[in-house]
């Protein structure tokens, strides 16, 4: 007998990190703190870039867009997880799962493409400094960001539409705290061959091409830096790339851990920990990586916090 198709009334069940009720207040406080730090850190970075005229440059324009995407990326998953912990529930509706999956694919793709665009920006700044301001003009920067949004939105929409054609039955527990595309597809009781082909082919293209572009950019950057005669000039040129390179390693490293853990183990806890690193920890660390290693960002943050402190004192008076 074929399993009954329950797609119309289905509720997916998301993984709970612990079945022990005593641990849930700790987990709620931990993830709430990480979420607030992520939102506050990235929001401060956006405000610092927008408020300081010295930071109105392509590199910081792309950085502020990356921070906005990180806020949205974390907000797509963590509030629902916190709600489920608080209510001791694992349920998410079929429509809610599809929406969450759409934005997860969209925002992860945006992170990937924006990091590639930022690598291209560093390549132009170091390898072609005389043409940098002409080529990386405001119009091109806006077009690059819009192109990233359009491509990611179309890619995510295609995946979501292909999931909508699937039928789901009774076994609907997802070993993640969010609706992850691959896990949702594997819960379907209908044929998923086309979905699997599209998932792995698009992952191969979107994983290899941007990473190849980043590696090519940095190979040219390293060659250009080696030709600089003074050690101070080499340090100054390389210091503008360290933060971006750190974020790239963090993004691809945690993303790779998620898919390796999903492929090599069926333990829900291992998959969940890897997902937390990718979805929560990476967006939380990004603003710290950029602000701690960038004098311009630190200066803008001091000015921003100083202005806010002066406004608070004047309002008290």
Lookup: tokens for 94:
């079929």
pTM above 0.75, yes or no: yes
pLDDT of residue 172 exceeding 70? yes
CA distance 152 to 100: 15
Does 317 score more than 50 pLDDT?
Answer: no
Are the C-beta atoms of residues 176 and 275 closer than 8 Å to each other? yes
Q: Are 297 and 290 in contact (CB under 8 A)?
A: yes
Q: What is the third-level CATH fold of 7-316?
A: Rhopdopsin 7-helix transmembrane proteins (1.20.1070)
- Which of the pair, 71 or 250, is modelled with greater confidence? 71
The residue-averaged pLDDT of 193-221 equals 92
Q: What is the per-residue pLDDT across 159-168, written as a single tens digit (0 to 9) for each?
A: 999 999 998 8
Rounded to whole angstroms, how far apart are CA atoms 174 and 306?
Answer: 46
User: How much of the chain, in percent, has pLDDT values that exceed 90?
Assistant: 46
- Residue extents of the structural domains in the chain: 7-316
Edge-first strand order for the sheet with 11-14 is 91-93, 11-14, 173-174
Q: Averaged over 70-94, what is the pLDDT?
A: 90
Does position 316 have pLDDT exceeding 70, yes or no?
A: no
Higher per-residue pLDDT: 245 or 240: 245
Distance separating alpha carbons of residues 202 and 155, to the nearest angstrom: 8
| 265 band by pLDDT with thresholds 50, 70 and 90 | low
Angle of CA points 263, 185, 161, to nearest 5°: 135
User: Which of 142, 145, 140 is closest to 124 using CA atoms?
Assistant: 140
Which residue's structure tokens are 């630190």? 298
């Amino acid at each position: 007998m074929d399993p009954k198709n329950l797609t119309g009334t289905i509720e997916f069940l998301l993984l709970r990190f612990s079945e022990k009720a005593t641990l849930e207040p700790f987990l709620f406080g931990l993830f709430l703190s990480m979420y607030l730090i992520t939102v506050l850190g990235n929001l401060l970075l956006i405000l610092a870039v927008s408020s300081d005229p010295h930071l109105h440059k392509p590199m910081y324009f792309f950085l502020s867009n990356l921070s906005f995407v990180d806020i949205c990326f974390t907000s797509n998953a963590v509030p629902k997880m916190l709600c489920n912990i608080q209510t001791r529930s694992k349920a998410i509706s079929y429509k809610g799962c599809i929406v969450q999956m759409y934005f997860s694919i969209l925002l992860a793709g945006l992170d990937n493409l924006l990091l590639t665009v930022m690598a291209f920006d560093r390549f132009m700044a170091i390898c072609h400094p005389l043409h940098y301001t002409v080529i990386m003009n405001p119009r091109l920067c806006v077009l690059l960001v819009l192109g990233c949004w359009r491509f990611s939105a179309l890619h995510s929409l295609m995946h979501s539409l292909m999931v909508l054609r699937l039928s789901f039955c009774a076994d609907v527990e997802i070993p993640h705290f969010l609706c992850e595309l691959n896990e949702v597809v594997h819960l379907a009781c209908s044929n998923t061959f086309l979905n699997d082909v599209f998932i792995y082919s698009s992952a191969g293209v979107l994983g290899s091409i941007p990473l190849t572009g980043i590696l090519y950019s940095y190979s040219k950057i390293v060659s250009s830096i080696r030709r600089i005669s003074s050690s101070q000039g080499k340090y100054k040129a390389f210091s503008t790339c360290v933060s971006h390179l750190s974020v790239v390693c963090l993004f691809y490293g945690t993303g790779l851990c998620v898919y390796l853990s999903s492929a090599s183990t069926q333990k829900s806890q291992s998959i969940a920990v890897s997902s937390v690193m990718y979805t929560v920890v990476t967006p939380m660390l990004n603003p710290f990586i950029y602000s701690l290693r960038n004098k311009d960002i630190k200066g803008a943050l001091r000015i921003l916090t100083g202005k806010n402190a002066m406004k608070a004192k004047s309002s008290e008076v």
